[in-house]
Amino acid sequence: MDNKILVGGLVVAIIIAILAPFLASSNPDGLESTAEKVINEEALHKNLQALGLEEEGTVAPSPMPDYSIEGMGKVGEVIAMIVGTLIMVALAYGVAIVLKKPSSN
């Protein structure tokens, strides 16, 4: 197994994770920007009511919403990104190990 590529990829990902909170644009993304301009408030209100939500988001609470930790500012954002990257690599590695085709030896 070529673990060099895993370590290399993880190092690059962690560097991005540390820099992202400082470099990321805080502007809304393409979908949010579109929504600001065109959303049908009446339809949105009806859908939110059906789900019992106050505003759009998610029906299940997340531990680190918007890649941040409450009250921890930029440090919390860096921690959230690093934690997320580690969860991601562990999940992807685990799923890939479980699902890979049986070795042919």
Residues near another protein, by CB under 8 A: 1-3, 5-6, 8-10, 12-14, 16-17, 19-20, 23-31, 33-35, 37-40, 43-44, 46-48, 50-51, 53, 55-67, 80-81, 83-85, 87-89, 91-93, 95-97, 99-101, 103
Task: Pick the closer one to another protein by CB: 23 or 71.
Answer: 23
The total of other beta-carbon atoms located within 10 Å of residue 81's CB is: 22
Tokens at residue 6, please?
């895993």
Asked whether 92 and 85 are in contact (CB, 8 A), the reply is: no
Minimum distance from CB of 17 to another protein (Å)? 5
Amino acid at 80: A
> Could you give phi then psi for residue 56, rounded to 5 degrees?
-65, 150
Task: Pick the closer one to another protein by CB: 63 or 71.
Answer: 63
